Amino acid sequence: MQKPTTFRVLDADPDISQRHVALSVQEVAETVVALDVQDGRVQYDPTKTSILQIPAARSGAPFFVHSVPARENRPRHPGKDPLCVEAARAIGQHFVVLETPNWNLLALANPFAYMAECVTWATAEHLPQRCGEIEGTSSWKRVFSTMLFLCSELLERVVGFNETVGNSLNHLHMVSHRAPEGLGRYPAQLIAERIGRQARPGITHIGPHNGYPTHVWRVDLFDPDATAQAAAALVSRWCRIGGEFASANAAAVMENGHATLYVIPRHRLLTAIGWQSTPAFLEMLGVFIAGHGSDFDRVKLGDWGYEHIWQVLSSLQPIEAARVPLHVTAA
């Protein structure tokens, strides 16, 4: 097995800085999570959670609902930025600032984790979460390049990005988590895989026309730079169609030995029907995080089944996103 690449540690809390001058991305993730779990800061225990599988109807894939009650305790639109070194130092949270190819990234364990080994990767420089507001950079491409880089370095972790829909923090950041073993690929991936058995182009569009309730682009050109460029071009086209309210969620996952992007167009005026929390990238892939116990109970009791979850996702479908062309090669 090839030795993982290490990157320079630019800053870290004393427990880490006294021992390390360079770390791999995977070591950073494991270290900040382990130390914060040890301190009792992370409010998530994978052995005490439940996941409901909602069997597939229609010609689709099953959906999942994951009970995470502590998730609803997270701060929304806080007055002070929690994704900075100063905030971490003030509360004694473990952190690492790592020098990586695209940005210097601040790594923090997510105290309100939604899955195992949740890590937040924020830019060390304060940049806005809305990509179009970042001047002087090809921002969407840079975000996608960073996601692909993190996914490749994190050994089978899923990397997510919620632009202006699905998060309440205005500091540019991505998140990563370890998917539950043994449950297989996420629902949107299963649909893309089924289509791929026939013929999978570099960009695959899944949606209501082929068994999924909202529009998703799978982008895989085998070369990370080309993949990021094509994904950025797709989002750019969607933003021209959707105007000022256009946004997107995205995920980078390992498939067939390399990182692949899933990009989901969103419209900020659309609110989900039948779900209390605002769906983010994970829900858009078909895995719902139930922070409200009442939502989880409705599913567990059978009141909300496949058709209900289909309706939730379908209610967020920007119909105009179907106009985005598949053959886009430049942003």
Q: What is the pLDDT of residues 69-99, one digit of tens each?
A: 766 666 665 668 899 999 999 999 999 999 9
* Edge-to-edge strand list for the sheet holding 95-99: 22-23, 7-12, 95-99, 104-109, 116-123, 173-178, 158-162, 246-255, 258-267, 216-219, 203-206
Confidence of residue 331 (pLDDT cuts 50, 70, 90): very low
Task: Round to whole Å and give the CA distance between 144 and 17.
Answer: 29
pLDDT average, residue stretch 213-223: 94
Q: Residue 281 has what pLDDT?
A: 98
Q: Residue 69 has what pLDDT?
A: 78
Q: What is the CATH number of domain 7-323?
A: 3.30.428.70
Please report, for the chain, the start and end positions of each structural domain, with discontinuous segments joined by +. 7-323
- The pTM (predicted TM-score) of the whole model is 0.94
Confidence of residue 54 (pLDDT cuts 50, 70, 90): very high
Cβ count within 10 A of residue 168: 13
